Copies of this chain bind each other. A is one copy, B any other.
Amino acid sequence: MLSRYFPVLRWGRAYSPSLFADDALAAIIVTIMLIPQSLAYAMIAGLPPQVGLYASMTPLIAYAVFGTSNTLAVGPVAVVSLMTASAVGRITESGGPDYIVAAAALALITGIILLALGLMRLGFLANFLSHPIIAGFITASGVLIAASQLKHVLGVPAHGETLVAILQSLASHIAQTNLITLIIGAGSILFLFLTRSYLQKLLRKAGLGEKLASAIAKAGPLLAVIGATLIVAALHLDAKGVAIVGDIPSGLPPLTAPAFDTDLWRQLTGAAFLIAIIGYVESVSVAQTLAAKRRERIDLDQELIGLGTSNIAAGMSGGFPVTGGFARSVVNFDAGARTPAAGAFTAVGIALAALFLTPLLYYLPQATLAATIIVAVLSLINLRVIRETWVYSKSDFTAMAITIAGVFFFGVEVGVVAGVALSILLLLYRASRPHCAIVGQMPGTEHFRNISRHDVITSPIAVSLRIDGNLFFANARILEDKLLGLATDSPAVKHVVLMCSAINEIDASALESLEAINERLKDAGVVFHLSEVKGPVMDRLKRTHFLDHLTGRVFLSQYDAMHSLDPETFFLPNGAPSP
């Protein structure tokens, strides 16, 4: 029981030196990747760089205790950082002390929401957003983030929450471009692209082992950061207008809860909900993909608790909202992480960096950080999915297009709200239309099939509808419409039979609809019957008065029903009675 809520108790007992060696190696590689990323994502969120480091320590430890994925790398990620900027930026100006407090409060609220959902075992909420809507949202956010970072590459002031506003702002400042900044930024982008695409192959050719070559290639962003920092420091380019990171306070974050401020919390709660949804869906998708590769499983409810405690930890140690990131988790997996302890070791690595490396980052140019972001988020942009969705389903494509347009023209929050609203609409639309078929007898057999697909025998006085799915409130009204329509559309009909062979559950709403259908058909002079009701469904119906009020009968088989109601139309050629 205890180990359900503290998965660390399960895997921790069997922890061994060999597991430690694997986890530690993975942690070193992830740490190298995470140092520049954490600074960069803090920049996206409009926060000072050390906040990125703070968000990469305690949350990882919390996840190691409460999470169920062996390879998920929790920490700041691009999309959630963008959402943080949008939410906190609405309340107070970027960069100030209020802004930092609000970002930590946002993480705390997000964590409380996730934890509460987890304790209520609402992990199935991960099904909430349709994949094309998520893909559209993430692609659009990637474009928005890349655009928002261009100002650092050009060295100009620019701002805006929407793609249109950002591009307009950039265009109006383009004349002020700082050439040296642009050279550093563009050079960094080029370097990062080249290392990502060719460095590993080059190193292999030069005779390095596969693991080492891959690890060095992963260090591309770190190499860019070191190189650019050295160049700026050596040539004192900061005096020539190149924006640098500057002083980063060294040391570990204080462990304190952000002061509770009713007004602030009320303003942030909506945004925290959206971050919780998006963060959870993104994280679970990655965790499931990686777990399946090793025939492992993650627990959807416990993942809510894991991410919830991570965000609470972020909020209580001066960080900002975190979740499981795609790229880092894949690296963690490839590097051989075998338990959640790898995350805890990464936290130690980041703590060492925060204690001892921050002075070395003084001359790090912001243009290079922006370059690492731009190259990283371009991998979020997935045009293939957009094209394939267009080919496969126009309605899914429409939902995706509206979400993308929402992000581009109205910002990330409107985009995700539009996505959620569309998902609910789509869900309701799909759920409200179970497949159903009017059925007739296949000549010479006891089988009843869809009249629109088979050449079957039908009767003018007895008609039958088969519903392929459970009956519940979302489709109860369609059920009424279809069954009453059978009677309304052909005045000769005397019997309506609902074939229940595919119905495994009838909720209270659908039961009420069946009662209403029975009453209304009675008023119209039509008898209502059921056939092939499954055992468990029948047991529940017997607990109600429905069967007492039913004007017709409950037949064991569809053939029985139709043969009894209209023996002149439905019979077997040999005249044999139904078995």
Interface string of A278-290 (1 = CB under 8 A from B): 0000001000110
Interface string of A383-400 (1 = CB under 8 A from B): 001001101110011000
In the complex, the answer to whether B477 meets A126 with C-beta atoms within 8 Å is yes
Contacts known (A502-B502, A509-B130); A520 close to B393, Cβ less than 8 A: no
Closest to A491 in B: B295
Interface string of A414-449 (1 = CB under 8 A from B): 000000000111111111111100000000000000
In the complex, the answer to whether B292 meets A427 with C-beta atoms within 8 Å is no
Chain B hits for A487, CB < 8 A:
295
In the complex, the answer to whether B473 meets A131 with C-beta atoms within 8 Å is yes
Which among A95-103, A264-272, A464-472 touches the partner chain? A464-472
Give the interface residue-count category, chain A. Answer: 35 or more
Interface residue A488 (Cβ < 8 Å from any Cβ of B): yes
What's the nearest-Cβ distance from chain B to residue A548, in Å?
13
Chain B hits for A474, CB < 8 A:
127-128, 427, 430-431
Chain B hits for A423, CB < 8 A:
473
Q: When chains A and B are docked, how far (Å) is the Cα of A469 from the Cα of B504?
A: 11
Closest to A390 in B: B508
Which A residues between 542 and 559 are near B, CB-CB below 8 angstroms?
A: 543-545
Q: When chains A and B are docked, how far (Å) is the Cα of A284 from the Cα of B480?
A: 12
Contacts known (A476-B131, A485-B297); A511 close to B468, Cβ less than 8 A: no
- A residues engaging B (CB < 8 A)? 122, 124-132, 284, 288-289, 292-297, 300, 385, 388-389, 391-393, 396-397, 423-435, 468-470, 472-478, 480-481, 484-485, 487-488, 491, 502, 504-505, 507-509, 511-513, 516, 520-521, 523-524, 540, 543-545
The 10 closest A-B pairs by CB, nearest first: A292-B520, A130-B473, A131-B509, A396-B508, A435-B504, A293-B523, A127-B432, A393-B508, A295-B488, A431-B431
Complex A-B: 8 CB contacts under 8 Å: A284-B477, A293-B523, A388-B545, A393-B508, A427-B431, A430-B470, A430-B507, A431-B431
